[in-house]
Homo-oligomer: A and B are copies of this chain.
Amino acid sequence: MNRKAAIIGGGVIGGGWAARFLLNGWDVGVFDPDPEAERKIAAVMENARAALPALSDVPMPAEGKLTFHGTIGEAVEGADYVQESVSERIELKHKVYAQLQQSNPGVLIGSSTSGFKASDLQKSAVAPENIIVAHPFNPVYLLPLSEISGSPANPPEVVEKTVQIMKDVGMFPLVIRHEIDAFIGNRFLEAVWREALWMLKDGIATTEEIDEAIRMGFGLRWGQMGLFETYRIAGGEAGMRHFMAQFGPALKWPWTKLMDVPEFNDELVDLVASQSDAQSGMYGIRELERIRDRNLVGFLRALKERNWGAGKVLREHDERRAAAFYAEMAKGLDTGAKAAPLVMWQGQVLPGWIDYNGHMTESRYYFCNSETVDNFLRLIGAGMDYVAAGHSYYSAETHIRHLGEAKLGDQLRGELQIISADEKRFRSFVRILKGEDCVATVEQLCLHVDMKAGKTVPAAPEVWANLKAVADAHAGLPMPEGVGRAVGQKKE
């Protein structure tokens, strides 16, 4: 049975949490008195479905069940976890916690608060020990950070349980050592926000110019190394001490107006809002969200390729779910022994895969085949470890037929049939399927090589035994239509 999260408050943040839980296979019960909540969450879900699965190389679990409730008590019924994302009013939060703890005593409550400390949130609660800060960043369904901040009232097991739930939905829980206002991220955001408002007010730069100054420069650095690792590099061969010696004195220079805050009045709001309209008003909010999401998917995918930072979090999340996936694949292998093609891969068409026709670009069909064959190799015992030990299957020759079109967000799967095999090679035939439609077929000859010697050699006995079992089972299957074709050959 699915675990259940109660989402109290379904705005931008609450909706993002709902999406993250649902797409990770949790059921979600929402309470939000806004009559528009259901429509708003549906819009967030649409964005999230197009983005989050695009980060996974393991099939996502079936989406959880989403329900809306008229009372907090109903929403929290049977919940294993509550994420509270109501407005930043402490009395309101206290009222919500009282209702939650009355309806579901003992439930763990994480708050999305941007600034209240856990000890503020816990005041006057029946069970203060079960209330903790779990502060995310928008878009919640893509950015991994969740700042976990407890008070001395929270026992270690509550912190640990929160950490585990965050990991379960693919987040990076950062436990903060001491209670401080605004945790870590928002302190920096606040610092930059103050400075930015001064620049606008003084006419130094517009909202657009400030955004360019960030995203064309240090913003790119910070997405992958943060502040200190970046500065460590800036110190060059002489390192961090050199950097400190060089830039430390700047602390005393009049480089910021941080000592003071600009007056927050209508004039300032007008200035910011009108400049922002000039800069971004040509896009609707949903459109901007989609642009942002695709950019973030691109960044996160790049980091995942390099197993770095947030990309490492994604890989670890895949690994946690991989056991179930490989068990499913192994079932496929049994099926293979029963003479049916093996479904060896599932995935989603990503933004970077689209060509100028709006279709999946042709080389990505080959990529889908590679993923399918790689999973098959892992299954027969010729995965990463086998490669690391010096042997591998290399592709020698491939024939691809393009039979249909795949578009952004389409769910594809790769179904593999072994046409022939011996100790040194195999011929595979992969159908790339979209639902029941076959959008491409890929026939391929792979040779088993000793990588160091650079020549074809027999596979290890256990690998060959596994391969042979599948090949023998598949020998009974009809030869697929299109096998053995040359390019442009007439149909027979």
**Are the C-beta atoms of B400 and A397 separated by less than 8 Å?**
yes
**Are the C-beta atoms of A228 and B306 separated by less than 8 Å?**
no
Quick check: is A387 within 8 A (CB to CB) of the other chain?
yes
**Are the C-beta atoms of A203 and B227 separated by less than 8 Å?**
no
**Size class of A's contact patch?**
35 or more
Q: Which residues of B contact A192 (CB under 8 A)?
A: 188, 191-192, 227
A201: min CB distance to chain B, Å: 12
**Are the C-beta atoms of B302 and A301 separated by less than 8 Å?**
yes
Complex formed: what's the CA distance from A292 to B445 in Å?
Answer: 37
Mask, A203-241, CB within 8 Å of B = 1, is 111011111111111111111111111101111110111
Quick check: is A174 within 8 A (CB to CB) of the other chain?
yes
Quick check: is A33 within 8 A (CB to CB) of the other chain?
no
If A145-B213, A174-B209 touch, whether A302 touches B305 (CB-CB below 8 Å) is no
Q: How many copies does the complex hold?
A: 2
Stretch at the interface among A118-126, A154-162, A254-262, A315-323: A254-262
A342: min CB distance to chain B, Å: 19
Complex formed: what's the CA distance from A146 to B186 in Å?
Answer: 27
Complex formed: what's the CA distance from A145 to B219 in Å?
Answer: 11
For chain A residues 334-360, which have a beta carbon within 8 Å of chain B?
A: 351-352, 355-357
Stretch at the interface among A56-64, A471-479, A482-490: A482-490
For chain A residues 163-199, which have a beta carbon within 8 Å of chain B?
A: 172, 174, 176-178, 180-197, 199
B190, B203, B209, B233: the one contacting A250 at CB < 8 Å is B190
Quick check: is A294 within 8 A (CB to CB) of the other chain?
yes
Q: Which residues of B contact A309 (CB under 8 A)?
A: 215-216, 295
**Which residue of B is nearest A269, CB measured?**
B244
